Amino acid sequence: MTTFVGSFDYMSSPILNALLALAPPAQPGQAPPPVWTSMVPLVLLVVVFYFVLIRPQSKKAKEHAALLKTVRRGDEVVTSGGIVGEVVTVKDKTLVVRSMDAKFEINKAAISEISKRSGESSES
């Protein structure tokens, strides 16, 4: 008999054997459980993933899209790269932002938040 490195011949775990020993023995003439009982955990897992991962992400994407639609001239914005500037021009897909003495043309998707609206009064 030839054994190879990494062979499964030497994989013997007392914990695995104990867990397998706890399984109920098969009864002769006993019908197997219905197929839908094995599908229940999978369906529950999909539902949990939807409510924990997918739904919050799509909600956040909708909020971000609504935020981008409301950007207007004079707003102070923060980009995803951390640049803080004032919106000079709003185009279909891009914005021209002035930060200090520099002007940048950036994609609207790069806006992470609007820190101050152009119509709001400064409280500082």
- Residue 122 tokens, joined: 């400064």
Angstrom distance (rounded) from CA 70 to CA 65:
9
The whole-number pLDDT of residue 31 equals 79
What's at 95, amino acid-wise? L
Q: CATH number of the domain that 81 lies in?
A: 2.30.30.60
The whole-number pLDDT of residue 120 equals 60
For residue 46, tell me if it sits in a domain: no
The whole-number pLDDT of residue 9 equals 55
Residue 96: give the domain boundaries. 70-116
Q: State the pTM of this model.
A: 0.60
For residue 54, tell me if it sits in a domain: no
For residue 81, tell me if it sits in a domain: yes
Domain count, the chain: 1
For residue 98, tell me if it sits in a domain: yes
DSSP the chain: ----TT-GGG---HHHHHHHHHSPPPPTTPPPPPTHHHHHHHHHHHHHHIIIIIHHHHHHHHHHHHHHHT--TT-EEEETT--EEEEEEE-SSEEEEEETTEEEEEEGGGEEEEEE-TTSPP--
The whole-number pLDDT of residue 124 equals 43
For residue 104, tell me if it sits in a domain: yes
The whole-number pLDDT of residue 118 equals 81
pLDDT tens for the 124 residues of the chain, in order: 555 555 555 566 777 677 777 777 777 877 777 888 888 989 999 999 999 999 999 999 999 999 999 999 999 999 999 999 999 999 999 999 999 999 999 999 999 999 998 876 545 4
